[in-house]
Structure 1
């Protein structure tokens, strides 16, 4: 039987300059992600849509969630398979389109994990494990766009 999980999110709009949404350009697209017991993350809209480029936006967080979920499951699978990972870094990129009616969607994401394994590890197994991750990754299984993984495996 499947086990149900809940993931609360508390989003608080912080962009009221005093007159709310009375005019389209009269408010900021800023907000806080604030969950009890966790650090507050100040966020904004995509800069293309008037957001603050110094803050994370929902699109950044979606791509980061895909990459982080992949990494965490990869580390789990590597540990179970006897592959000792000593370093992991990813420079993931999400691609999207904005339609003429201002709607948009992601069309793909590409992960570029650079994985360093302990000398003597099975490099082919380390590479192959990336292909197994999306069987388990909650985020990857939930999005409706393709995710490509282009790993590089190094020995320490």
Structure 2
């Protein structure tokens, strides 16, 4: 039986320069994401659409959410199967397309995790866990574009 999970956030536009949206070029595309009990996140639109390049944009957040969900499930499955993960990092790439009318969508995301496992780990088994993750990951199961994974798994070297 499935169990419902509710997530809450508040999005608050902070880009009013004093005249609201009177002119398309007269306001900033900035906002704050407030999640109960957590620090606020300052965000903006993609710089190509008038956003602040120093702030996270929705595309950054979606890509990060996919990679983070994948990582958390990998760590969970690794722990359950006796694979000891020593380090994990990812540099995912999202491919999106824009249409002439300004609309757009993600076409694909490639996750590129680099995972360091304890010496003596079965590397093939550690790599194989990635194929199982999309059965579990809330975010990957919710998007309508392909999410692929190109993992690199290496054994931990003794530290000096």
Q: Deviations along 1:83-124, whole A, 9 cap, x unmatched?
A: 000100000011100001111000000000000000011100
Q: C-alpha distance in 2, partners of 1:29/1:136?
A: 34
Aligned with 1:114: secondary structure?
Answer: strand
Q: CA RMSD in A?
A: 0.5
- Cross-structure match for 2:148: 148
Q: C-alpha distance in 1, partners of 2:37/2:9?
A: 12
Listed as ranges, the gaps of 5+ residues in structure 1 are none
TM-score, normalised to structure 2, is 0.96
Give the aligned length.
156
Runs of 4+ in 1 over 4 A off after TM superposition: none
Q: Does the CA contact (< 8 Å) of 2:74 and 2:129 recur in 1?
A: yes
Q: C-alpha distance in 1, partners of 2:9/2:35?
A: 7
1:36 offset after TM fit, Å?
A: 2.4
Q: Does the CA contact (< 8 Å) of 2:8 and 2:36 recur in 1?
A: no
Q: C-alpha distance in 1, partners of 2:83/2:100?
A: 48
- Cross-structure match for 1:73: 73
Q: C-alpha distance in 2, partners of 1:11/1:69?
A: 22
